[in-house]
Chains A and B, each alone.
Chain A
Amino acid sequence: MKVLIRHQKREVEVQGARRVRELLVELGINPESVLVIRGATLLTHDARVADEDTVELRPVVSGGSSARTGGIA
């Protein structure tokens, strides 16, 4: 299957059907940090993905401001 890893701006080819959870472990990606999308559908970690699938790993972690509070200027 084709796996598009958005935040790393790369695409990898993975052979063989497996569960999403196993795919993420193999790719060394923390499941908390991404959503897994096939077509327009979100997949839970127990969903199975097959050889013919194209899967997107969409990062969910954003931000980076040094702001410690939402205080005054």
Chain B
Amino acid sequence: MRCQKEKCTAGATVEIRRHHTAFCNEHFLEFFERQVARAIEHERMFTRDDRVLVAVSGGKDSLALWDVLRRLGYQTTGLYINLGIGEYSAESQRKSVAYAEAQQAELVLADIPATYGMGVEAFARATGRVSCSACGLSKRYLFNKVARDGGFTVVATGHNLDDEAAVLLGNLLHWQTEYLARQAPVLDSTHPALVRKVKPFFRIAERETAAYAIIRGIDYILDECPNSVGARSLLYKEALNVLEQAAPGTKQSLYWGFLERGRPLVQGQDNVDLRACLHCGQPTTGEVCAFCRMTERAAERMRLRRAGAAAISPASTS
């Protein structure tokens, strides 16, 4: 198969079936960067005057996002959050730091175990949440907190077309209209303490972000989070990939169609009054935000456990 770019005679390396095309490395990178630039401009995500905080996990999507935004000339700083998930977190941090050092790019490290005394799995155990829920809550909280504290005007995440289509499928299967109303490539600030969030890869498939990372020689973590095994979102992705294989363009049609025709029907169903959390000042719908409630409960559990152990310990040694 030849590259479909006019006048190019090189062999194709990346096929994009939903666009009925294929490109060589050079023209794929050109296509990829153009898609990202178009998404940013069309959705008015940010401009070159904005300071963009890029959430990086050491995986292909977030490192590819950081790389392409830097090449497009945006002002970016990476944010890596150590979630405290054993060797997985250690390896993903190494990949993120290695990329930042090689590119001489600024990277902010947020360390959950060092700051809160435990990682997200311990938060989950202490509060009866599943790990992915405690992890998602922690990341959303810290994205906003670090951005706000650091004076960033926007947070960019590496969510791609496959991620968005899978989330949409999950929300549709359960008719989560409140979540549907909030699913968009741009989440505007609706409170002075809430930083705008954007997803510049919403037009780009997961195969393409992986291809970009490989062609650019980005060294990303290949292992998946051990807590993601059996996750529902992966099942939805698998189902969508079966459909995509049989009918290329299905994921794009589902998600872009939702943005154009479905979302206007549910918009406004997520209207909530935000206020500042009494404990930390971050935006929340209640008096105390979910992150503060989770971390305070987890800390209390740990304090009680330690007190219990200390009470038993002298008796057993006497």
Partners in one complex: yes
> Which residues in A have some Cβ–Cβ distance to B below 8 Å?
6, 30-33, 35, 37, 41-47, 58-73
What residues of chain B lie closer than 8 Å to A32, measured between beta carbons?
Answer: 207, 241, 244-245
Question: What are 18 A-B contacts with C-beta separation under 8 Å?
Answer: A32-B244, A35-B207, A42-B25, A42-B215, A44-B12, A59-B222, A60-B206, A61-B238, A62-B59, A64-B224, A66-B130, A66-B233, A67-B140, A71-B182, A71-B187, A72-B194, A73-B137, A73-B284
Q: Answer whether residue B146 sits at the interface, using C-beta atoms and an 8 A cutoff.
A: no
Name the distance in Å between A7's Cβ and chain B's nearest Cβ.
Answer: 8
Q: CB distance B1 to A44 under 8 Å?
A: yes
With A41-B13, A63-B234 known to touch, is A72 a contact of B283 (CB < 8 Å)?
A: yes
Best-buried of B136, B137, B179, B187 by chain A (most CB within 10 Å): B136
Query: In the complex, A65→B274 CA distance in Å?
Result: 24
What residues of chain B lie closer than 8 Å to A58, measured between beta carbons?
Answer: 210, 214, 222
What residues of chain A lie closer than 8 Å to B215, measured between beta carbons?
Answer: 42
Query: In the complex, A35→B15 CA distance in Å?
Result: 10
Name the distance in Å between A61's Cβ and chain B's nearest Cβ.
Answer: 5
Query: In the complex, A49→B171 CA distance in Å?
Result: 41
What are the 3 closest A-B residue pairs judged by CB atoms, nearest first? A64-B228, A64-B231, A67-B136
Q: CB distance B14 to A73 under 8 Å?
A: no
Q: CB distance B290 to A73 under 8 Å?
A: yes
Q: CB distance B289 to A33 under 8 Å?
A: no
What residues of chain A lie closer than 8 Å to B206, measured between beta carbons?
Answer: 60-62
Q: CB distance A71 to B140 under 8 Å?
A: yes
- Given contact pairs A58-B222, A67-B140, a sample of 4 additional A-B residue pairs in the complex whose CB atoms are under 8 Å apart: A61-B238, A63-B234, A69-B183, A72-B274
Name the distance in Å between B233's Cβ and chain A's nearest Cβ.
Answer: 6
What residues of chain A lie closer than 8 Å to B289, measured between beta carbons?
Answer: 72-73
The B interface is mostly helix, strand or loop, or mixed, namely: helix
Name the distance in Å between B219's Cβ and chain A's nearest Cβ.
Answer: 13
Query: In the complex, A29→B284 CA distance in Å?
Result: 44
What residues of chain A lie closer than 8 Å to B210, measured between beta carbons?
Answer: 35, 58, 60
Name the distance in Å between B298's Cβ and chain A's nearest Cβ.
Answer: 15
With A37-B214, A62-B59 known to touch, is A31 a contact of B135 (CB < 8 Å)?
A: no
With A42-B211, A73-B289 known to touch, is A33 a contact of B241 (CB < 8 Å)?
A: yes
What residues of chain A lie closer than 8 Å to B194, measured between beta carbons?
Answer: 72
Nearest B residue to A42 via CB reads: B13
Q: CB distance B244 to A61 under 8 Å?
A: no
What residues of chain B lie closer than 8 Å to A70, measured between beta carbons?
Answer: 140, 157, 159, 182, 187, 197, 199
Q: Answer whether residue B132 sits at the interface, using C-beta atoms and an 8 A cutoff.
A: yes
Name the distance in Å between B131's Cβ and chain A's nearest Cβ.
Answer: 9
Name the distance in Å between B237's Cβ and chain A's nearest Cβ.
Answer: 5
